[in-house]
Amino acid sequence: MSFPKLPRCVARGLLATVSVLAMSDVSAQATISSGFNLFSTEQDIEIGRRSAVEIERQLPIVHDASVDAYVGAIGRRLAADMAGPTFPYQFEIVNASDINAFALPGGYIYLHRGLLEAATNEGQLAGVLAHQMSHVALRHGTHQASNAYIGEAGLGILGGLLSRDDGSTERVMGAVGGFGLNPFFLKFSRTDEEQADLVSVHALAKAGYDPQDMIDFFEVLRAQASGEDGEFFANHPSPPGRAPGVRSEVAVMTISPASATGSFQGIKAALLAMPPAPSMQALQQSPPGPSPRSADAAPRNRDLGIAPPSSRFRAFEPRNHLFRIEHPSNWQTYESADGLAVTIAPSGGFVDRGGDEKDLIYGVVIRHYAPFLNDKSRTSLATATNDVVRQVIRTNPTLRRVLESQRSDTVQGRSAISLVFWGRSEVTGEDECVTVFAREVSGDHVVYALFIAPGQDYDQIKDTFARMMGSLRVDGVAAHR
């Protein structure tokens, strides 16, 4: 696969509005994936713990031993067979009259007292708990925070430049809204809700609950929702055909009913005997806004002093052996903590503008694809490339696809595609060229690479990029580990 020759006088005339690749029509059942995530599961727990401290400074918590024990027992029963990473699930009741619930990363679940009072049996309460725990298991909160941070940090962050041991968790969270009642932990998309439904019905069935109780309760809440009572569905939008979708999933399940954990009516009576709970309108405080990013001027390309790439190449392979690529010997490699990505760049390839992360202006990012949009459909080369292209343009809205730059090929017997984008870099103020290369691995797996260079250097670097791209080899077995 070759890079097109794009003299600057021609390239500037080829700019056109980006057209997204045609997505393949996939009718198979949804593949559930936690999607792109900068954080480890340990960082999920840290984020949840620190957010819980902030939230419990702002919101009143019901302190009743019998209520806590009952809700905790249901939660532990569900957690025993919950999909995904093992999280230390914890449950609290917010003394608020609104019918609502929310989950923090790492397993911190909050139910409003008004929701418990509205439920009519243990199965309905278990359904809400299972749904919130599913958002945690699918890591929807940190997925959304990670996706938002790309716009703050630029393309270099996709290569795993986020360090795990230098306070990066705090920096990233500060940039996207901070700990506590962060909007990314409180409001999910319809796709997120559909995924949580699918995971929660299986968790309920394994725990001996009838998943239909969950959907019945959601339908009752929707019928009653108005004003403040509609907050649950404002934060948890109902997917189209929710009830039929859950029923069809339940129809193929084997459910062995289990006895109730305790006296639901007794717990509900204890709550109703307490003084009336205030509404969230009187309690909730707005979360802090995102930290401003420094707008300090950066040096121009001509002042960066980047040495030409060496004609001698050496190979790089991550610790999990997912891929192998050759690169100029005078370029450095920066492997991600999870071994799924690497950034390869020359000295001077990064610019420090005083923000949270350095900006990559010259180099290559390679990463195993995980959905940014958390799309429910099966991953294909077209859907993955579309998703990556959207994120690239999001980091630099001036980028436009160069007409007739699209190339299709077969590498190691797998389909591959590349596209070239051109625009004005907000970091350097000069032309920037980004080539997106994606190739299938096996099954639903895709690996992509971003080749980034100043526009004035494109003709000199394109042969180096083409050689690197041609040397990329991917281990299909490693992708499934």
pLDDT number for residue 314: 93
Please state the φ and ψ torsions of residue 416, each to the nearest 5 degrees.
Answer: -140, 155
Q: Residue 385 in contact with residue 436, Cβ under 8 Å?
A: yes
Mean pLDDT of 44-56: 86
pLDDT number for residue 178: 62
Q: Residue 132 in contact with residue 109, Cβ under 8 Å?
A: yes
pLDDT number for residue 11: 37
For the packed helices 264-272 and 65-79, what is the interaxial angle rounded to 10 degrees? 140
Rounded CA separation 391/372 (Å): 8
Strand 473-474, strand 323-328: pairing: antiparallel
Domains, in order of start, for the chain: 8-28+297-479 (3.40.1000.10), 41-282 (no CATH)
**Rg of the chain on CA atoms, in Å:** 25
pLDDT digits (tens, 9 = 90+) for 72-125: 999 999 999 898 888 999 999 999 988 889 999 999 999 999 999 999 999 999
More confident site: 372 or 479: 372
Rounded CA separation 336/158 (Å): 9
H or E segment and range at residue 440: strand 431-440
Does the pLDDT of residue 136 top 50, yes or no?
yes
Q: Residue 182 in contact with residue 52, Cβ under 8 Å?
A: no
- Residue 179 gets which letter from DSSP? S
pLDDT digits (tens, 9 = 90+) for 186-216: 788 888 888 888 899 989 999 999 888 888 8
Report the chain's terminal Cα–Cα distance, integer Å: 28
Q: Which residues contact 133 (CB under 8 A, 6 or more apart)?
A: 75, 78, 79, 82, 89, 103, 107, 109, 200, 203
SS (H, E, C) 294-305: CCCCCCCHHHCC
pLDDT digits (tens, 9 = 90+) for 155-166: 767 776 554 445
Q: Which residues contact 372 (CB under 8 A, 6 or more apart)?
A: 35, 36, 147, 150, 387, 388, 390, 391
Rounded CA separation 17/402 (Å): 9
Query: Would you state the structure tokens that stand for residue 25, as one six-digit string?
Result: 């029509």
**Range picked from 7-11, 126-130, 363-367 for highest mean pLDDT:** 126-130
pLDDT tier at 373, thresholds 50, 70, 90: low
Rounded CA separation 161/342 (Å): 8
Name the burial class of residue 141, with classes exposed (0-12), middle (13-18) and buried (19+) by CB atoms within 10 angstroms of its CB: buried
Among residues 33, 223, 60, 59, which one has the least CA distance to residue 140? 33
Strand 407-411, strand 400-402: pairing: unpaired
pLDDT number for residue 135: 93
Q: What is the percent of the chain with per-residue pLDDT over 70, rounded to a whole number?
A: 73
More confident site: 470 or 299: 470
Q: Residue 14 in contact with residue 401, Cβ under 8 Å?
A: no
Rounded CA separation 109/104 (Å): 6
Does the pLDDT of residue 24 top 70, yes or no?
no
pLDDT digits (tens, 9 = 90+) for 382-436: 888 888 888 888 888 888 888 778 888 887 788 888 889 998 887 888 888 999 9
Q: Residue 18 in contact with residue 423, Cβ under 8 Å?
A: no
Does the pLDDT of residue 126 top 90, yes or no?
yes
Query: Would you state the structure tokens that stand for residue 271, as one six-digit string?
Result: 């709550």
pLDDT number for residue 296: 37
Mean residue pLDDT of the chain comes to 77
Please state the φ and ψ torsions of residue 447, each to the nearest 5 degrees.
Answer: -115, 140
For the packed helices 122-137 and 212-224, what is the interaxial angle rounded to 10 degrees? 100
- Residue 61 gets which letter from DSSP? B
Q: Residue 188 in contact with residue 237, Cβ under 8 Å?
A: yes
Does the pLDDT of residue 231 top 80, yes or no?
no
Query: Would you state the structure tokens that stand for residue 261, as one six-digit string?
Result: 């954990």
More confident site: 166 or 71: 71
pLDDT number for residue 295: 34
| 451 beta partners | 364, 435
Sequence letter at residue 30: A
pLDDT number for residue 291: 30
pLDDT digits (tens, 9 = 90+) for 313-325: 999 998 888 888 9
pLDDT number for residue 71: 94
pLDDT digits (tens, 9 = 90+) for 257-294: 777 777 889 999 999 988 888 887 776 544 433 333 33
pLDDT tier at 32, thresholds 50, 70, 90: low
Q: What is the percent of the chain with per-residue pLDDT over 90, rounded to a whole number?
A: 17
Q: Which residues contact 355 (CB under 8 A, 6 or more apart)?
A: 152, 153, 293, 294
- Altogether, the residues listed in the chain come to a count of 481
Does the pLDDT of residue 31 top 60, yes or no?
no
Q: Where are the alpha helices (DSSP H) in 360-457?
A: 381-395
